[in-house]
Amino acid sequence: MAGIALVTGASRGIGRAVAKRLAADGYRVWVNYGRGKAEAESLCAEIESAGGSAIAVGFNVADGEAVRDALEPLIEAEGAPDVVVSNAGITRDGLFAMTSEEEWSSVIDTNLGGFYHVTKACLRGMLRRRSGRIIAISSVSGQAGNAGQVNYSASKAGLIGACKALAKEIASRKITVNVVAPGFIETDMVKDLPKEELAKAVPLGRFGTADEIAAAVSFLASEQAGYITGQVLGVNGGMYI
């Protein structure tokens, strides 16, 4: 077995695809979910039936105490994850002038605060072991900005800055920190968008798939990516170059 991989927000969409891919790569996957317990347990059963290993781990990434309560016993029993994928995220879209404090804070607390809580809970063991892969799922919105998503763009840009700084802090411990920044990906998050119209803004002319994001994560988690840290890998069909 390759080790342990923790994937947050793994009950659906990109997180689900990432969890399945890392399980196929040989990792025992800790499948985090916020509200999708049934979906997470279904994914674990699917992974197990394919010969892999997975457990569902429920906690809200924005709640530091809940993160610690869930992860500390697991880390004590099984060791710190070898790979941490911070994928959990939410949107509360709207014009900035109309954005409430709750809509601002909930997005920042989940998308950026979640990275802090989960990474910090796992990092001590990774530092002690002197190895690991930390991968954050950002967005093209965090690179280029997007009207109507000031809160989301801020949170995703914050992930990029945090990962670049952390990469410098812990490189001497042989831990890499990288970012995958998706563009338009076929998930529930975009199901109500005018896909045909939006695809015209993508040089490759289509939305991406969750499996294509998972492939990028798989590479950054691999031994072949051992000399890559502090980088942003855009998987966006050419939307942002």
Q: pLDDT digit of tens for each residue in the chain (241 aa)?
A: 689 999 999 999 999 999 999 999 999 999 999 999 999 999 999 999 999 999 999 999 999 999 999 999 999 999 999 999 999 999 999 999 999 999 999 999 999 999 999 999 999 999 999 999 999 999 999 999 999 999 999 999 999 999 999 999 999 999 999 999 999 999 887 777 888 899 999 999 999 999 999 999 999 999 999 999 999 999 999 999 9
> How would you class 50 by CB atoms within 10 Å of its CB: exposed for 0-12, middle for 13-18, buried for 19 or more?
exposed
Report the phi/psi class of residue 134: left, alpha or beta, with left for phi > 0 and alpha for psi in -120 to 50: beta
Class of domain 3-235: alpha beta
In sequence order, the β-bridge partners of residue 29 are 5, 54
Residues carrying an active site annotation = 152
Distance in angstroms between the alpha carbons of the first and the last residue of the chain: 36
